[in-house]
């Protein structure tokens, strides 16, 4: 199977959706002429024209509002927010309208909100590096996915485009060009709400998503050299999330670390940990461990950013303590 980078896989999903369905169109800041900040949409304007690849004003409120209206009218808009942090400027339509319309009216809202999320690991500072999946997980009516591999980036985006509900696709900036992997040609759909056991193991479970799934796999290889066999569950979907796969893994290993990039306090990992405590307490041989970003704004200085973020070495240290408990 041919290999693509993460961002190439996203572009292929967009290209194929535009070709397959005339209702699909893209809108966002600098996505047309410039091809997007990360060049994900490069070439789409030339192929599909300005009626389907639309540069918008710098207004997240307007982008989300326009996409919501278009979805209600029968289109399938894919809105890009240039950096996921900027969704805060469009919270009013997203939280008060987009997420509630199906509940209030019975009207589907088939729209996708794409956003580069998380740290760049290149010191982009607090306005361009946040991991805010917990914001959206708290809002009924929104689905949220965070793919960690190129194949899942294509497959989950394709599933999101076809979904009758609003789906937020948080694409990991760190992985755009660093992650390369096999991606099926043609149609490829990864069902929303299904986790993947990315690595099987017997001594402990790591539950992670996005960049931290990648870092956790790196940590598992380091630990394997020490004789510690770690299972890694890549959650992939935040809402809905796959409790069954997580609980089955915890029942198998008896120890679990939940690793996420967002702030530790009230991060989505707290929801995962609470569910494990409620539904798998008898299976646990050690306390549930959470490893996450610090409870501060993410720093711009590279040394401080490295201190703030979890990485494979911090995961290794944490799992050593967990297994030795």
Whole-angstrom distance, CA of residue 212 vs CA of residue 209:
6
Topology of the domain covering 3-182: Rossmann fold (3.40.50)
Distance of CA 10 to the CA centre of its chain: 12
Q: Residue 263 catalytic?
A: no
Which is it for the CA torsion 254, 259, 264, 266, positive or negative? negative
Tell me the per-residue pLDDT of 275-314, one tens digit each, with 9 for 90 and over.
999 999 999 999 999 999 999 999 999 999 999 999 999 9
Identify the band that residue 152 occupies on the pLDDT scale cut at 50, 70 and 90: very high
Question: In whole angstroms, what is the distance from residue 283 CA to residue 252 CA?
Answer: 8
Contact 142, 100 (CB under 8 A): no
User: Which residue among the candidates 102, 128, 301, 313 is catalytic per the annotation?
Assistant: 128
pLDDT digit string (tens) for 232-279? 999 999 999 999 999 999 999 999 999 999 999 999 999 999 999 999
CATH class name, domain 196-323: alpha beta
pTM recorded for the entire structure: 0.96
3-class DSSP state for residue 264? coil
pLDDT score recorded for residue 269 = 98
List, for residues 56-112, the tens digit of each pLDDT value.
999 999 999 999 999 999 999 999 999 999 999 999 999 999 999 999 999 999 999
Task: Please report the pLDDT score of residue 90 as a whole number.
Answer: 96
pLDDT band at 122 (very low <50, low <70, confident <90, very high): confident
Read off the pLDDT band of 121 (50, 70, 90): confident
- Report the chain's terminal Cα–Cα distance, integer Å: 42
How high is the mean pLDDT of the chain? 97
Fold match between 3-182 and 196-323? yes
Asked whether the CA dihedral 38, 44, 45, 51 is positive or negative, the reply is negative
Q: How far is CA 95 from CA 100, 122, 225, in A?
A: 7, 31, 47
Residues 6+ apart with CB under 8 A from 258: 206, 207, 208, 269, 272, 273, 276, 288, 289, 290, 291, 292
Domain ranges of the chain: 3-182, 196-323
């Amino acid at each position: 199977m041919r290999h693509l980078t993460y961002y190439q896989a996203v572009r292929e999903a967009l290209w194929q959706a535009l070709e397959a369905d005339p209702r699909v169109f893209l809108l966002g800041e600098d996505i047309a002429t410039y091809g997007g900040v990360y060049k994900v949409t490069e070439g789409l304007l030339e192929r599909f024209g300005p009626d389907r690849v639309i540069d918008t004003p710098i207004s997240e409120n307007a982008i989300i509002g326009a996409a919501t209206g278009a979805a209600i009218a029968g289109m399938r808009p894919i809105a890009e927010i240039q950096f996921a942090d900027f969704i805060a400027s469009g919270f009013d339509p997203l939280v008060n309208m987009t997420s509630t319309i199906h509940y209030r009216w019975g009207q589907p809202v088939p729209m996708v909100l794409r956003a580069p999320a998380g740290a760049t690991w290149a010191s982009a500072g607090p306005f361009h590096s946040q991991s805010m999946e917990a914001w959206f997980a708290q809002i009924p009516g929104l689905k949220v996915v965070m793919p960690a591999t190129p194949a899942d980036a294509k497959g989950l985006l394709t599933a999101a485009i076809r979904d009758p509900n609003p789906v937020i696709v948080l694409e990991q900036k760190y992985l755009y060009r660093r992650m390369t992997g096999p991606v099926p040609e043609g149609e490829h759909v990864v069902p929303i709400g299904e986790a993947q056991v990315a690595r099987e193991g017997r001594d402990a479970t790591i539950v992670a998503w996005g960049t931290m799934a990648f870092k956790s796999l790196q940590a598992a290889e380091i630990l394997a050299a020490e004789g510690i066999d770690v299972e890694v569950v890549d959650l992939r979907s935040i809402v809905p999330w796959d409790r069954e796969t997580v609980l089955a893994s915890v029942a198998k290993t008896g120890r679990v670390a939940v690793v996420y990039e967002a702030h530790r306090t009230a991060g989505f990992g707290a929801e995962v940990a609470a569910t494990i405590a409620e539904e798998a307490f008898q299976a646990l041989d050690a306390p549930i461990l959470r490893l996450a970003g610090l409870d501060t704004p993410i720093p711009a200085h590279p040394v401080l950013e490295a201190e703030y973020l979890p990485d494979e070495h911090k995961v290794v240290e944490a799992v050593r303590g967990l297994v030795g408990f």
